[in-house]
Amino acid sequence: MSTLFDLAVVGGGHAGCEAALVAARSGLKTALVTLRLNGIGQLSCNPAMGGLAKGHLVRELDALGGHIGLASDRATLFRHTLNLSRGSAVRGTRAQVDRFFYGEEMGQTLRETPHLTLIEGRVDHLLEVSGRCTGLRLGDGSQIDSRAVVLTTGTFLGAICHRGDWTQPGGRIDETEVDQGTITAQLKSLGLRTLRLKTGTCPRLDRESINFDQLKIQTSDLADSGFSDHPEAQGQRPIQPCWATSSNEAVHEVVRKNLHRSPIRREEFDALGPRYCPSFEDKVERFAHRESHQLFLEPEGVESRQLYLGGMSTSMPAEVQQVMLEAIPGLEAVRVLQWGYCVAYDAVDPIQLEPTLEVTALPGLYLAGQLNGTSGYEEAAAQGFWAGMNAVRSLRNEASFLLGRDEAYMAVLMDDLTTRGITEPYRMLTSRAEYRLELRESSAFIRLHAQAGELGLVSKERLESRERRHAEIIEARGQLESKRSSGQSGWQQLSRPHSDLKAITDELQVTRPSLAMDQEELQAQARYAGYIERERRRLRRYADLDRIKIPMDFDFGDRPGLSTEAVELLQRVRPRSLGQASRIPGMTPAATHLLAMSLK
């Protein structure tokens, strides 16, 4: 049995959902194949969305027509703005969401999307004809023919769950239907370098066994601005509190005595974990001087008794976890509903992909999500959108969808992956973006407005609403620049640190933008204007390098003066511009100059 589609997407996680929606909403006949239809959009680890740099990605996806922001806002239980005391460029919106409602919301959206077919099954093989990926073969022998494929297998390639001495196949607990090496072997046969990575999760606790009197309650921010500007983005769930506590020396001593029982400490365990989200065992060992580590109890759903213990990712044996937990204030009588565990899985070094996330060695095949060595729902969703849109563009013989590092965090993510590659799970950070002063959360809808209109995934009404909001900002800025007080224009006053937008606009009788997000953007434009101009002058040289394109058939080996090391680096990455070549780790300024001379 065979069915023909324009695009087949493998995996129903955050990357797969965005890729499938992009293609179907663009009018392509699309299939999404996933192991479990009731597992679509599952929040495998912490049921939270956004955070530092990650919130930027979600806003950008919403600006361009992605769905993750809308689904998150509708499922939000708790919202908080991180780094609120710091500048707008490094703030991040983080939302605790209802895990169960979010999955239902995403699943229902996919089921109701025209041109999209959902298929439950396990993919055993990628089909190939004349050097191009042409579909999938499933475990039941059926075949899906397609003009292109987006592979978003998450943590399910060669996946094994670990907790103490206990192991079982699975990309998530109790989901044992994983690929046991056939897809990995096929990717390797294409010449792709794979590596073993790991991710971990925290224990889930029974709410009714917690002594909340010993915990510090945390309430949601009053600000009503979420991730999406969709008119139906209002929350559908009642706001819930979170709670904070901390570990102590007694907990740390339990960990130290049992480190040898942690699977990640065994010599045969060869999977690499994320440096920026370490296991609790790693925290205790690496930060031995710390007397405590902060922990958070976060709700998983309105109708759920489960609380997620953020900050304690662990794969210690269950009996050790129990002793650790009972030593924490407020958890003396705790009941555990799900023990913490870690997953080791196969990933691909994305340096071998095109900037579009297409596999150079097999056109028509795109890789996205944790398969590319990233960590986090937001990074996965961004890749799924990017790969899906580029598959659409390729099938229509249109120009690729590519943004510059000065335009979006999404572009920083894709450029880092395909230029630098990964040696550990990649996490988006504001420090990775050299243009972060301009790539603010509050500016996402404005700076990506033209691209959103071109892609055609955002409604006319939303685009018009953004234009009105932008006009309000421009109007307020013009008034501030023209009105003066105490020898300075309102705009000059607003540019000072700790200036008060409300006080200045009230004194000068200037009409502020109606939304808090746009008021924040107006304030940020004033405060960052001088810094941005200086940054732009410094970074303009790199932007110019990105405009110098390298032909696809360019022979790096036939360039006099280039060292053998430089040639090897260039041939491995196959950069598409001189700017991308200059960012390859190990590429010297001298080698970049010689390459520039060769291109001229």
Q: Which of residues 454, 469, 500 is at a domain's end?
A: 454
Confidence of residue 1 (pLDDT cuts 50, 70, 90): very low
pLDDT at 543 over 90: no
> pLDDT at position 423, please?
86
Regarding whether 463 and 450 lie in a shared domain, the answer is no
Measured CA to CA, the distance from residue 198 to residue 291 in angstroms comes to 27
* Residue 83 DSSP one-character state: T
Regarding whether 137 and 81 lie in a shared domain, the answer is yes
What are 284-340's pLDDT values in tens digits?
998 999 999 999 999 999 999 999 999 999 999 999 999 999 999 999 999 999 999
Confidence of residue 548 (pLDDT cuts 50, 70, 90): confident
The answer to whether residue 25 sits within a structural domain is yes
Average pLDDT, the chain: 92
Q: Select the more confidently predicted residue: 532 or 159.
A: 159
239 contacts: CB under 8 Å, gap ≥ 6 = 76, 77, 78, 220
> pLDDT at position 572, please?
83
The answer to whether residue 255 sits within a structural domain is yes
Confidence of residue 411 (pLDDT cuts 50, 70, 90): very high
Confidence of residue 513 (pLDDT cuts 50, 70, 90): very high
Measured CA to CA, the distance from residue 245 to residue 230 in angstroms comes to 36
> pLDDT at position 530, please?
86
Quick check: 273 and 279 in contact, CB under 8 A?
A: yes
Range 264-268 average pLDDT: 84
Q: How many domains does the chain have?
A: 4
Quick check: 18 and 66 in contact, CB under 8 A?
A: yes
Measured CA to CA, the distance from residue 548 to residue 543 in angstroms comes to 9
Quick check: 361 and 352 in contact, CB under 8 A?
A: yes
Regarding whether 379 and 326 lie in a shared domain, the answer is no
> Could you tell me what percentage of the chain is helix, strand and coil, using 3-state DSSP and rounding each to the nearest 5?
40, 20, 40
3-state secondary structure of 494: helix
Tokens of 135: 């579909």
Tokens of 22: 């992009």
CB atoms within 10 A of CB 566: 22
The answer to whether residue 288 sits within a structural domain is yes
pLDDT at 3 over 90: no
Q: Select the more confidently predicted residue: 574 or 147.
A: 147
The answer to whether residue 227 sits within a structural domain is no
The answer to whether residue 112 sits within a structural domain is yes
pTM summary value: 0.92
Confidence of residue 447 (pLDDT cuts 50, 70, 90): very high
Q: State the CATH number of the domain containing residue 13.
A: 3.50.50.60
Measured CA to CA, the distance from residue 408 to residue 433 in angstroms comes to 9
Quick check: 154 and 369 in contact, CB under 8 A?
A: yes
Regarding whether 353 and 288 lie in a shared domain, the answer is no
What are 340-367's pLDDT values in tens digits?
999 999 999 999 999 999 999 999 999 9
What are 36-53's pLDDT values in tens digits?
999 999 999 999 999 999
> pLDDT at position 265, please?
86
Q: Which of residues 304, 319, 342 is at a domain's end?
A: 342
Measured CA to CA, the distance from residue 189 to residue 363 in angstroms comes to 14
Regarding whether 25 and 147 lie in a shared domain, the answer is yes
Torsions phi, psi for 31 (to 5 deg) = -120, 135
CA 51 vs. chain centroid, Å, equals: 10
Quick check: 410 and 384 in contact, CB under 8 A?
A: no
Measured CA to CA, the distance from residue 9 to residue 31 in angstroms comes to 6
Measured CA to CA, the distance from residue 218 to residue 103 in angstroms comes to 25
Range 208-234 average pLDDT: 89
Torsions phi, psi for 489 (to 5 deg) = -75, 160
Regarding whether 469 and 421 lie in a shared domain, the answer is no
Regarding whether 314 and 214 lie in a shared domain, the answer is yes
Tokens of 456: 């055609």
Regarding whether 149 and 24 lie in a shared domain, the answer is yes
Q: State the residue range of the domain holding 272.
A: 204-222+238-342
3-state secondary structure of 117: strand
Regarding whether 141 and 48 lie in a shared domain, the answer is yes
Regarding whether 10 and 91 lie in a shared domain, the answer is yes
With a pLDDT cut of 70, the percent of the chain lying above it is 98
The answer to whether residue 210 sits within a structural domain is yes
Confidence of residue 564 (pLDDT cuts 50, 70, 90): confident
Q: State the CATH number of the domain containing residue 574.
A: 1.10.150.570
Amino acid present at 527: R
Regarding whether 499 and 475 lie in a shared domain, the answer is yes
> pLDDT at position 597, please?
83
Tokens of 300: 């998983």
Range 205-226 average pLDDT: 90
Q: What is the CA radius of gyration of the chain?
A: 25
Measured CA to CA, the distance from residue 148 to residue 501 in angstroms comes to 51
The answer to whether residue 191 sits within a structural domain is yes
Confidence of residue 179 (pLDDT cuts 50, 70, 90): low
What are 139-150's pLDDT values in tens digits?
999 999 999 999
Measured CA to CA, the distance from residue 306 to residue 327 in angstroms comes to 20
Quick check: 40 and 17 in contact, CB under 8 A?
A: yes
DSSP 304-361: --EEEEET------HHHHHHHHHTSTT-TT--EEE--EEEEEEEE-GGGB-TTSBBTT
Q: Which residues pair with 484 in a beta bridge?
A: 489
The dihedral formed by the CA atoms of 66, 68, 70 and 73, expressed in degrees to the nearest 10? -160
Regarding whether 527 and 572 lie in a shared domain, the answer is no
What are 383-400's pLDDT values in tens digits?
999 999 999 999 999 999
DSSP 435-490: TTTTS-GGGHHHHTHHHHHHHT-S-HHHHHHHHHHHHHHHHHHHHHHH-EETTEEH
Confidence of residue 275 (pLDDT cuts 50, 70, 90): confident
Q: Which of residues 393, 424, 454 is at a domain's end?
A: 454
Measured CA to CA, the distance from residue 117 to residue 39 in angstroms comes to 16
The answer to whether residue 231 sits within a structural domain is no
Q: State the CATH number of the domain containing residue 268.
A: 2.40.30.260
